Amino acid sequence: METNQRKVGRPKAPPRTGPLVLGEDYARAKVILEISERVEEELAAYTRWVEKSSGISANEAKFKTLDFALREIFRRDHVWQAQRRIPQESAPTSASAPPSATPPAPTRSPSPSLPPPTPRDPRTSA
């Protein structure tokens, strides 16, 4: 017996055949940083693979690899994402931060023996 019901869920994506890092292009900024030797070796091997798989230059392969890896870390770190959503006003200030404006002067409560002030009519003020 045949059923004409569609399968539930998203259809399966076709299997990837190339590097995951070959996606969008972004503007660049030069950053110099140090990484461990182990990571450098893995980065070199991966960028060689990206370079061979796609026919792009070694520098382009390295840029795309690092850019993608860092974007994924930032996207997948749920604690970081939650921290970014906290409004800056409610974030605790550091102890070294200078105090903001001077505290407001304490307000005096009216004397209980005096009658409450009467509001002025702006039309009658001269």
Dump the DSSP string for 7-57: PSSPPPPPPP-S-TT---------------HHHHHHHHHHHHHHHHHH---
Around 53, how many Cα atoms within 13 Å sit in the side-chain half-sphere?
Answer: 15
Which helix (H) or strand (E) segment holds residue 117: the answer is none
pLDDT (tens digit, 0 to 9) for every residue of the chain, 126 residues total? Answer: 566 777 788 888 888 788 888 877 888 999 999 999 999 999 999 999 999 999 999 999 999 999 999 999 999 999 999 999 988 766 555 555 555 545 555 445 555 555 566 666 556 555
Distance CA 44, CA 46 (A): 6
Q: How far apart are CA 47 and CA 60, in angstroms?
A: 9
Phi, psi of 110 (to 5 degrees): -65, 150
